[in-house]
Structure 1
Amino acid sequence: MIKFFRRVRYDLMGKNKTGKYLKYAVGEIVLVVIGILIALSLNNWKEDLADQGEETRILGGLKQEFETNLAEVSRNIKLNTSTRESTIALIQLIHTDEPFANQRYLDSLLNEVYMFGSFDAQTGLVNEVISSGKLSIIKDTELRSRLTGVSGLLDNLEEDYIIRNDYYYNHIIPYLSKYVSIINQDKFMNFSGWSESYESNKLDDSPFKQKYMDIDLLQFENLFAIHKVNNDFVNLDEYDLKEFFTQTLKIINTNLDLKE
């Protein structure tokens, strides 16, 4: 009987010790889990702060990039609008009874229809953000969408630049070279749209006689009618880009204001 009670007491003591060890172990595990969760929270907090700082840096860079592009496309719109208006004036001149009566005016128009412009957009930071995988750092979904869509707009514009330029140099210049002296247009050449300081040396008028009477007026008209259409597409693309840059800048500035 005594042995039996000793056995029971021994078993109870062992179970009590096991329970204590189990509670201790569970407590240790809970502390470890809490520590891990705290560490993860701190790490996530640090990463969030870093991302916020990087987003601010990216937004500031995008602001400068888009402001430059907006100024450049606005300058180009002015140049290409002048080209379009001069092309219309030239076509209207062709429709008159004596289109070649005022040689000086004709030369001025032929120069102005040539003074079209193009621009290379700055996309360095946009490309960096996309290629580096940092696009997700930008929280504004509309801004992310715009950054990925700008290349398509620029590709369309570049294609229309090429069509216009190729047409002018492959068709209009060879045609004009047969009948008029292109150097007579040089005195009207104005580079102020590209540079405030550059001044070109003006050429003297050609001593050779113009062949106005050999010009086929219908062909002459058609050449510049197509040139107008080509420039219309360029103008259309540039106006779309100007609106795109303007609206994107508003979104960028709004996001920067929220960070202040």
Structure 2
Amino acid sequence: MIHFLRKIRQKLVVENKTSKYFKYAIGEIVLVVIGILLALQINTWNENRKLKIAEQEILRNLLKELIINKETLNYYLDKHLEGYKSGFYLLTLFQKDISTIPEIKLDSTLAKLEEVLTFEASDGIIKSLIASGKIDIIQNTELKSLITSFDGYVINAIQETETLKLLIHDRLWPSIDGKISSSNRLRTYKDYGEYPKGSYTSDYEWFFKSREMEDIVSNLSSWMKTIYLDEKELSKNIDVMILLVENEIKIKTK
């Protein structure tokens, strides 16, 4: 088309038809501009399409990672809630008659209070998004904010676990060694069922008459509940992230 107009323009110049020449010249310029604008629009559309495809891939990978974290965290939540309830139950037995309670039940209950787990997040996708700058491909600002804050949420959820572990290591175990059988408590765990039975009978009468043990169990139980509540908050944030990601996937695939 432009080649055709150029021929007409040359003919008009030769024939000295100036006014018509300018009209065709302007028409040629308009066509060129329209062509450039169309090319830019097509290029923009193509780039947007690529970004949408990239965003979908990011969202799907992120969703998988969040679901893994949710499932892992649910296991930890169950364990720590069970630990808190076990500690609470033990507190009700101090200065009480425990002669009718089977020793294996006391062993199992105390063992659950001793089981402290530290949640380790699966965050390879999240860290990669932040480090590479690809987080900017995600359009949802609330989701981006939660992603950048994820590491902080995890730290808040696990920061008390070391305190509880130290309390068990430094206070509980030194106080009960030689009085409450470690082997018998370990035997209550599924993975340690093959452990030989302890050579002595645990002195739970002493345990539940000791004010020191009562205070230690009270501290352990309260710290266990704190950890559970912190993990519960992390779980809520993960739920929000999963919901946002799922909604973004649905919207972008319509």
Q: TM-score w.r.t. structure 1 length? A: 0.79
What does residue range 69-218 of structure 1 map to in structure 2 within 5 Å?
A: 69-97=69-97, 103-191=103-191, 200-207=193-200, 210=203, 213=206, 217-218=210-211
Counterpart AA for 2:248: N
Of stretches 56-65 and 36-45 in structure 1, the one that deviates more from structure 2 is 36-45
Provide the rounded CA distance (Å) in 2 between the counterparts of 1:242 and 1:48. Answer: 34
Q: Displacement of 1:132 after TM fit?
A: 1.1
Deviations 1:80-128 (A, max 9, x none): 1111111111111223145898543332222121233332121111111
1:61 counterpart = 2:61: yes
Provide the rounded CA distance (Å) in 1 between the counterparts of 2:247 and 2:25. Answer: 53
Change (3 A) 1:182 1:135: same
How big is the alpha-carbon RMSD for the aligned residues of Structure 1 and Structure 2? 3.0
Q: Displacement of 1:50 after TM fit?
A: 0.7
Q: Displacement of 1:136 after TM fit?
A: 1.7
Change (3 A) 1:253 1:101: closer
Deviations 1:166-185 (A, max 9, x none): 22222212222153221121
Q: TM-score w.r.t. structure 2 length? A: 0.80
Counterpart AA for 1:218: R
Q: Displacement of 1:143 after TM fit?
A: 1.2
Does the CA-based 8 Å contact 1:110-1:185 persist in structure 2? yes
Q: Displacement of 1:245 after TM fit?
A: 1.6
Does the CA-based 8 Å contact 1:138-1:144 persist in structure 2? yes
Q: Displacement of 1:226 after TM fit?
A: 1.0
Of stretches 244-253 and 20-29 in structure 1, the one that deviates more from structure 2 is 20-29
Does the CA-based 8 Å contact 1:184-1:204 persist in structure 2? yes
Counterpart AA for 1:253: E
1:239 counterpart = 2:237: no
Does the CA-based 8 Å contact 2:160-2:223 persist in structure 1? yes
Of stretches 49-58 and 234-243 in structure 1, the one that deviates more from structure 2 is 234-243
Q: Which residue does 2:48 correspond to in 1?
A: 48
Does the CA-based 8 Å contact 2:55-2:137 persist in structure 1? yes
Does the CA-based 8 Å contact 2:187-2:195 persist in structure 1? yes
Provide the rounded CA distance (Å) in 2 between the counterparts of 1:244 and 1:104. Answer: 39
Change (3 A) 1:95 1:55: farther
Counterpart AA for 1:86: S
Counterpart AA for 2:66: F
Of stretches 75-84 and 20-29 in structure 1, the one that deviates more from structure 2 is 20-29
Of stretches 103-112 and 203-212 in structure 1, the one that deviates more from structure 2 is 203-212
Any idea what SS the aligned residue of 1:113 has? helix
Stretches of structure 2 lacking an aligned partner (at least 5 in a row): 1-12
Q: Choose which of 226, 229, 241 in structure 2 pairs with 1:248.
A: 241
Which protein is bigger by CA-based radius of gyration? Answer: 1
Change (3 A) 1:153 1:214: closer
Does the CA-based 8 Å contact 1:61-1:125 persist in structure 2? yes
